[in-house]
Structure 1
């Protein structure tokens, strides 16, 4: 991020806001090592683009090259390769612990042990290839033959588990300098290839039908155990411990559920049966990986092309030009910029880092308390996950799980997104009014007329939206938008040639690792839920609560969705909550779209919900404030977001379900409702501070307006009119101080 003001026409506030952040445990390679990683990540991303569009070297040249994959690939094989490639890149790029500052601080002995583990890792990979050759030569594979079981157990499974467990444990203690490859991680990469090779070989035979039965080969279960461990270790490195801990709890439940009382009791399941089935489309290769291997990686490539053409910088500068002059300008810029960036950014915390590094210091500069500055950015960045048309990745998973067309989901998300960002806008505007803040001066901002002249940078987004609603598939629409980003770049100083295009694929390959690992790890949890039946028992619990009160059942569902989402990326949070909570809501008679949006919304806002609020913690790191105070403040700023999902239940018109008049009335009254709610929470109404009883009245009137019925709307309007009279005519003495945070 830089600031420069050469002339009035040449003010640029944002530069590099969409550049990929470098994590603390990412290796920084130089020379040939850097070229190798760049080549691998570029190939990985290009492989997906080619596979998704059915393009191969053979189709382009007519030359068949046996060692290269032919498209379209078989679905399970494609997903296995997708996960294995991400694991290989991830283990090479991300360390299992901190790096050594000097050569003297390295642990060479552990490195030598890691090199020794290459032997069992390579043995397992060799055996996986030998199985493929045997099957190719006509051997009928089965799970009963003694010779086959011996080979799978002792010559494939045992070496694989020794290498996997040994490599993981060694990586926790082994230290190398940041620019060097680590032997334990090379072992883990080979183990990932061994798992993928074996599973592709076995699933290519009739053995796919034996998963979860006594006839499943023992090697299938062992490979799945190793694959599960590799995925969880990769998730720990790129996304922290929260999701890994939750996955571990669910895995323990598989084998301990038979001893638990009540609705948590589950039937006994052997480890062979469970693991032979969890690495299928009932678990790891299920909906989450299906989405990450198609839509998510495609839009990561799209985002990388936008990054190469500097569209992220333009989005933020455009937001400054449009909203920077308003009171508390940088806070409103954060709202607009985070919404725009949210269309191409997959995580709340990532959005905070991208835009917050610029907006948070500027918010502090104009008078916001540091915790409020962080809270505003966290709340705004979280909203990017519900911003059509891309909506992070949750919308794609929703489409995969429910079967509802993606375009219908994107349309349904419009009003919820409006309500979210409008509520945050009111909250920061009233805060700025109470503190008497000014906007930024004109000479501090980019010129709006100059930004308008570059509006063509929105063309890739426009093409994406047009293609989606013109009936093209999501993959085709995303491909067209990616190509448009490259074409549009030729109208800017950042023209994309072949080198830039390869660099964009390189960026995409590296960016995809975290979300792929997270989706695969979430697939483990989804597999446990489906294979143990615990989701159905949660549904029965919700039905029992609904017998007492539907509102109580919804409140319980909200709590579960938020608890499951705490500390987890949005994609994983929604995938897990959708498996546990959404079926129960549907059993209550709630339409599938409404039920899944209810769960999705709370999975998103879990990023700003104390005590574990990832987006708030990321913002606190930039603002220098206390993380817990920032999370509480962001919860308060986003308070309307915790009411909006209940509005879906009582008024489906907010999800575009209804006639035009119904939808329009629902939108208008809901906006008025969030305005009143924000006024009540912030204690600011019609240009003055409000007394406590006025604030209570505003909140009550807001709830009536939000409810959505004609009679409740009339009551809310009448209550608002009465409150307006009290505030303007009687003018009660306001509370002494009511603020999310005042200036330092």
Structure 2
């Protein structure tokens, strides 16, 4: 074990602090504490690590000034932590809106909010800070706004109390989810990747799909779906798998922007793929007060349909554009899979523990420990101390980069709920849609996409759930379907121009034009773009109903999204004209949205597949004739 630089040293403050973060999380899992102890300490760890791993980088400031500012941030974070520990007894026994708010509470609250704003800026950029600033301003000056937006506003005492002194606001559901779920699954993803699991996924995908038409692109889709379901972060997945899959695609003739776009959408879709899905899925479970396993089960059919449709688009466009498959020599150059197959055990252990009834956090810890046991089952996969160190470094760092932004979103929830903005927004949306369920859903869809531009999925989902879910439920939509509808569009916003974080990351990795990459990824995302509407009209696709209804719903979704994919690829044995694409696309869209077995679904299904089959058979008849004329 070597330490080439202070950043890599096991004695560096950031590494030791990260190990402390991991140990703290394991300790509170085994010995649960009061929320007003667990959540502030968790947040202090996250802020400290964020400021250490992402020091101030402004070029307009001299290095000594930057160091001084970072030191002040760290000291202020420690001060906030000391406040919560010293005032723990008072904070846990006080009565909200009755007990007094002291000057110390105000100072600590203001400092914490400032730290969260700066932490959010360093973690995800200015857009989230702008959103937070708007809600903070609304909390104080909402009385200046017209119409239904107007409310009396909060005083400083009330604002601090609801934001930082109770198990609401920044110490509410968002931080609770980070403490209870997110940290442990991020830890598992980091440990599994360090133990060689990420490389195994890529190599396995190459072995399975490399020799097929468009094999490298299919391998990217498969590996990114597997790794994305574990990492839970589109950008992190792009960076970790894209460095291998994008160059691989480019070598077989896939243009750089398309290779980057495929990686972006495949990595983004990992947040939709059970068993782990994305961070937002855990928050959904908390908001709906249902077991996470219920969320994962509901997401299974749509996620499978999404990835099968994406694979179909990749296959058809490769045939259309003449993209070559990998050669036998290129596939053979990949390390053998069989001697490493035991490395698939940690994800299986995770799934098995969840199915067996263990809590999500406990299951993730068991699976995390197995990541450093399974490699020693065979001599060829033995790992050294460096793998453990990498996992211990990456797990708390990644957790901190998630914990701080989503804790800051607690400010949005506190203001939106306490000001009654959420309910008033829901009422105005229903009024604007004039009772039309399609218009209400379309407005919510657009709102989620706009909010998701530049925000992490989890941040966009939380805001969307607060503002849009009540409105959708007001028109009679089931709560699970309403949340999944918002969740899907917030996920897809990661590849929606003009601001698409996953696409931007993929373009940087693949040295591709940014906007061409964004539009390419967005085009590929269209195979799933209208799937959320089916959640509303056919609950069977979310695993609600009898076994027969669920089976029919699954088959209907798979075949309907396939039609949609054919239309977007523009190929069905030969290039499709615009008329054929329009007919197949419109039929597929109707079949995707309409409930399985309904009259509308039957018309769409029959019309679309009849047109696709006619084009395919015409192409097959023409092929022998062309070959005969050539002879």
Q: Report the equivalent of 2:452.
A: 565
Residue number among 37, 44, 50 corresponding to 2:21 in the alignment: 44
C-alpha separation between the residues in 1 aligned to 2:563 and 2:190?
40
Residue 724 and residue 377 in structure 1: after superposition, are their counterparts in 2 closer, same or farther (change >3 A)? closer
1:69-88 to 2 correspondences below 5 Å? 72-88=32-48
Q: Is the 8 A contact 2:257 2:516 kept in 1?
A: yes
Q: Is the 8 A contact 1:222 1:275 kept in 2?
A: no
TM (normalized to structure 1)? Answer: 0.79
- Residue 191 (structure 1) aligned with residue 63 (structure 2): no
C-alpha separation between the residues in 2 aligned to 1:36 and 1:368?
44
Q: Is the 8 A contact 1:342 1:384 kept in 2?
A: yes
Q: Is the 8 A contact 1:235 1:517 kept in 2?
A: yes
C-alpha separation between the residues in 1 aligned to 2:295 and 2:38?
26
C-alpha separation between the residues in 2 aligned to 1:645 and 1:434?
29
1:400-439 to 2 correspondences below 5 Å? 400-439=286-325
1:509-524 to 2 correspondences below 5 Å? 509-524=396-411
Q: Report the equivalent of 2:137.
A: 252
Q: Deviations over 1:573-608 (max 9, x none)?
A: 212211111122222221111111111111111101
Residue 624 and residue 548 in structure 1: after superposition, are their counterparts in 2 closer, same or farther (change >3 A)? same
- Residue 205 (structure 1) aligned with residue 182 (structure 2): no
Q: Deviations over 1:120-154 (max 9, x none)?
A: xxxxxxxxxxxxxxxxxxxxxxxxxxxxxxxxxxx
Q: Report the equivalent of 1:231.
A: 116
C-alpha separation between the residues in 2 aligned to 1:329 and 1:499?
33
C-alpha separation between the residues in 2 aligned to 1:357 and 1:658?
42
RMSD: 2.4
1:47-126 to 2 correspondences below 5 Å? 47-54=24-31, 72-98=32-58, 107=62, 111=64
Q: Is the 8 A contact 1:244 1:521 kept in 2?
A: no
C-alpha separation between the residues in 2 aligned to 1:726 and 1:487?
55
Q: Is the 8 A contact 2:139 2:419 kept in 1?
A: yes
Q: Is the 8 A contact 2:196 2:343 kept in 1?
A: no
Q: Report the equivalent of 2:608.
A: 720
How far off is 1:695 after superposition? 0.6
Secondary structure (helix, strand or coil) at the match of 2:167 reads coil
C-alpha separation between the residues in 2 aligned to 1:547 and 1:238?
40
Q: Deviations over 1:264-320 (max 9, x none)?
A: 112221122111220132210111100111211111221222123111111111111
Q: Report the equivalent of 2:341.
A: 455
Residue 35 and residue 426 in structure 1: after superposition, are their counterparts in 2 closer, same or farther (change >3 A)? same
Q: Deviations over 1:487-515 (max 9, x none)?
A: 20212545467775455323312222201
Residue number among 233, 237, 242 corresponding to 2:127 in the alignment: 242
Q: Report the equivalent of 2:625.
A: none
Structure having the higher Rg = 1
- Residue 577 (structure 1) aligned with residue 537 (structure 2): no
C-alpha separation between the residues in 2 aligned to 1:196 and 1:633?
46
1:353-372 to 2 correspondences below 5 Å? 353-372=239-258
Q: Is the 8 A contact 1:698 1:720 kept in 2?
A: yes
Q: Deviations over 1:345-364 (max 9, x none)?
A: 13111111111111112222
How far off is 1:625 after superposition? 2.4
Residue 270 and residue 357 in structure 1: after superposition, are their counterparts in 2 closer, same or farther (change >3 A)? same
- Residue 312 (structure 1) aligned with residue 267 (structure 2): no
Secondary structure (helix, strand or coil) at the match of 1:679 reads helix
Residue number among 632, 637, 643 corresponding to 2:524 in the alignment: 637
Secondary structure (helix, strand or coil) at the match of 2:336 reads helix
C-alpha separation between the residues in 2 aligned to 1:446 and 1:465?
31
Q: Deviations over 1:522-579 (max 9, x none)?
A: 1222222122211111211233245431000011111111122111111212122111
Residue 473 and residue 726 in structure 1: after superposition, are their counterparts in 2 closer, same or farther (change >3 A)? closer
C-alpha separation between the residues in 1 aligned to 2:190 and 2:128?
26
1:560-639 to 2 correspondences below 5 Å? 560-639=447-526
Q: Is the 8 A contact 2:10 2:389 kept in 1?
A: no
How far off is 1:437 after superposition? 1.7
- Residue 647 (structure 1) aligned with residue 607 (structure 2): no
1:219-368 to 2 correspondences below 5 Å? 219-279=104-164, 280-368=166-254
Secondary structure (helix, strand or coil) at the match of 1:671 reads helix
How far off is 1:716 after superposition? 2.4
TM (normalized to structure 2)? Answer: 0.92
Could you tell me which runs of 5 or more consecutive residues in structure 2 were left unpaired when the two chains were aligned.
623-631
Moved more, 603-612 or 210-219: 210-219
C-alpha separation between the residues in 1 aligned to 2:273 and 2:254?
26
Residue number among 540, 552, 574 corresponding to 2:439 in the alignment: 552
C-alpha separation between the residues in 1 aligned to 2:108 and 2:540?
48
| Larger relative helix fraction | 2
Q: Is the 8 A contact 1:321 1:447 kept in 2?
A: no
C-alpha separation between the residues in 2 aligned to 1:440 and 1:727?
29
Q: Is the 8 A contact 1:278 1:524 kept in 2?
A: yes
Residue 96 and residue 360 in structure 1: after superposition, are their counterparts in 2 closer, same or farther (change >3 A)? same
Q: Is the 8 A contact 2:17 2:45 kept in 1?
A: no
Q: Is the 8 A contact 2:478 2:536 kept in 1?
A: no
Q: Report the equivalent of 1:472.
A: 358
Secondary structure (helix, strand or coil) at the match of 1:640 reads coil
Could you tell me which runs of 5 or more consecutive residues in structure 1 were left unpaired when the two chains were aligned.
1-26, 55-71, 101-105, 112-173, 176-181, 735-744
C-alpha separation between the residues in 2 aligned to 1:381 and 1:205?
46
Residue 28 and residue 532 in structure 1: after superposition, are their counterparts in 2 closer, same or farther (change >3 A)? farther
Q: Report the equivalent of 2:629.
A: none
How far off is 1:412 after superposition? 0.6
